[in-house]
Amino acid sequence: MKFQFATAGQIIFGNGSIDKLPAQVAEIGKRPFVITGSRPERHESVLSGLKSKSYALAREPTVPLLKEAVTQAREAGADCIIGLGGGSVIDLAKAVAALLANKGDLFDYLEVIGKGRPLEKPALPSIAIPTTSGTGAEVTRNAVLGSPEHQVKVSMRHSSMLPRVALVDPVLTHAVPPDVTANSGLDALTQLIEVFLTRKASPLTDGLVREALPQGARGLPIAFRDGTNTEARRDMSLSSLFSGLGLANAGLGAVHGFAGPLGGMVDIPHGVACAILLGPCMKHNANAALTSSNSSLLNRFAELAQMLTGRSGGPIEVIDWAIQISEEVGIGKLSDYGFAETDIPALVNKAKNSSSMKGNPVNFSEDTLTMILKEAM
């Protein structure tokens, strides 16, 4: 058995944790630059004590938006970066921190569409403060960026991009609307499921899933209906955090293998894409396990069923749960978001060699990948 585990320099979790922000900033820099979502005024009370300039991200980060944010942060003389928002905001913050410390061209460091080189110098220190419960970006070492020119989402990645501090305060998620709660929450739960099934799962990541997945499966429907439910919001924040810890150290699977490039092709929230694809991907993973009598994978499905439903079961129960939770929060089909059957070959071609697809417990043929997408239509 061999595995590695890396995460943020410090994780601070719990209601009221945001009060520790000024002290944490003082430890890493004197001129913080803050990346927020489209409505920074919502966080005035959080940021009022900081003498900082900021950049508001109105949509998912792209290569042009990153260049714009870096220019503003450089003009402000930033020596540390704070990401206060959802996963997109935190990803942009990590990318800005990386580029401020490195003078090379952005495409030197981007995977797939660039040279994919490692950073020459460590990224500036950053603090990640999630205001949604979804990606777990506060404890991952990469940033996902869209390239409108190439119609794809790609990553830049380096160990120094791990935030110096991950400050997770569930209270900050109480105002998140139901649709965002559902979209982000389904991403977190999908990540936990895939982390448990991936080829690189370890005793450490297994423990994270076993603790967080039952809490998330219980908490998401409650938080969707009542955003101020303190216990449900805490459960979702923990699930998101642990899903990020898991994916950063074990990888993911076919769902995210599809979801990444899909997001570069059509305008679909990442969590929605994951929710739509989860059932079909689990079905074909299970079919392969049954056909090959893969007892190890079937045992994993049995444990997932227990964690998700509280009852004994197997692949059928996992698939049924995925379908039921998506229906409960109003998730549709890929065709509802402008994805057409004529787009399937292009997506299969982009997804088949993705890093997440390589972590899937089963090797899918192109025919199977095509079938999965048709079932998600």
- What is the DSSP track for 22-53? HHHHHHH-SSEEEEE-S-GGGGHHHHTTS--E
Give the pLDDT score at 52: 82
Four-CA torsion 178, 46, 82, 212, nearest 10 degrees: -40
> Bridge partners of 109?
none
Angle at CA 373, nearest 5°, toward 147 and 314? 120
The values of phi and psi at residue 317, to 5°, are -65, -35
What span, in angstroms and rounded, lies between the C-alpha atoms of 98 and 74?
12
What is the reported pLDDT for 114? Answer: 85
What's the whole-model pTM score? 0.94
Whole-angstrom distance, CA of residue 258 vs CA of residue 64: 24
In the chain, which residue ranges form alpha helices assigned H by DSSP? 21-28, 44-47, 63-75, 87-100, 178-197, 203-225, 230-250, 254-265, 270-291, 295-309, 315-328, 344-351, 355-359, 366-375
In this prediction, residue 354 carries a pLDDT of 87
Write down the pLDDT at residue 279.
93
SS3 115: coil
| Per-residue pLDDT at 136 | 96
Spatial neighbors of 217 by CB under 8 A, at least 6 apart, are 189, 307, 308, 309, 321, 325
Cα angle at 93 between 90 and 97, to 5 degrees?
145
pLDDT of residue 264: 85
Q: Looking at residue 62, what DSSP letter applies?
A: B
- In order along its 377 residues, the chain shows pLDDT tens digits of 788 898 999 999 999 999 999 999 999 999 999 999 888 778 777 787 787 889 999 888 999 999 999 999 999 999 999 999 999 999 999 999 999 999 888 888 988 888 888 999 999 999 999 999 999 999 999 999 988 888 888 889 999 999 999 999 999 999 999 999 999 999 999 999 999 999 999 999 999 999 999 999 999 999 999 999 999 999 999 999 999 999 999 999 999 999 988 988 999 989 999 999 999 999 999 999 998 889 999 999 999 999 999 999 999 999 999 999 988 888 899 999 999 999 999 999 999 988 899 999 999 999 999 999 999 99
pLDDT at position 113 = 84
85 close to 36: Cβ distance less than 8 angstroms: yes
Report the Cα–Cα distance between both ends of the chain, in Å, rounded: 40
In sequence order, what are the residues at sequence separation of 6 or more whose Cβ sits closer than 8 angstroms to the Cβ of residue 268? 262, 334, 337, 338, 339
Distance CA 263, CA 32 (A): 31
Tell me the domains of the chain and their CATH numbers: 10-172 (3.40.50.1970), 178-375 (1.20.1090.10)
The strand pairing partners of 56, in sequence order, are: 36
CB atoms within 10 A of CB 350: 21
What pLDDT score does 142 carry?
93
Nearest partner of 206 among 193, 225, 220, judged by Cα: 193
- Among candidate residues 71, 76, 81, the one with its CA nearest the CA of residue 124: 81
Q: What is the pLDDT of residue 344?
A: 97
Q: Given this model, what pLDDT does residue 39 score?
A: 83
**pLDDT score for 62:** 92
The Cα 52–Cα 127 span in angstroms is 14
